[in-house]
Structure 1
């Protein structure tokens, strides 16, 4: 019979993964999201024409 991890380890791992996913969802949909600011900045950089 193969060795198995204790049940509480599996439950702890599942809870950690669920919290990680939920926190990332909340960060993505937050109104003061820095990802949207970064996207706007990258669009500004694309509009610039560099003359060397």
Structure 2
């Protein structure tokens, strides 16, 4: 029969997983907002009718 891990190990592991998920969601959110801003910038640049 395997030895049971202490309760605080399990709570630390769960907290680590939650923080990891929150961090990834925040990174995804900031990258998503930057991509939206880049799309709007490229649209405004296309409307300027550059002559090279």
TM-score when scaled to structure 1? Answer: 0.55
TM-score when scaled to structure 2? Answer: 0.55
RMSD of Structure 2 on Structure 1 (CA): 1.6
| Aligned-residue offset at 1:32 | 4.0
Is residue 20 of structure 1 aligned with residue 34 of structure 2?
no
Q: Which runs of 5+ in 1 are unaligned?
A: 34-52
Q: Greater CA radius of gyration, 1 or 2?
A: 2
Q: Measure the CA separation in 2 of the matches of 1:23 and 1:7.
A: 24
More helix by share: 2
Q: Measure the CA separation in 2 of the matches of 1:6 and 1:32.
A: 43
| Aligned-residue offset at 1:3 | 1.4
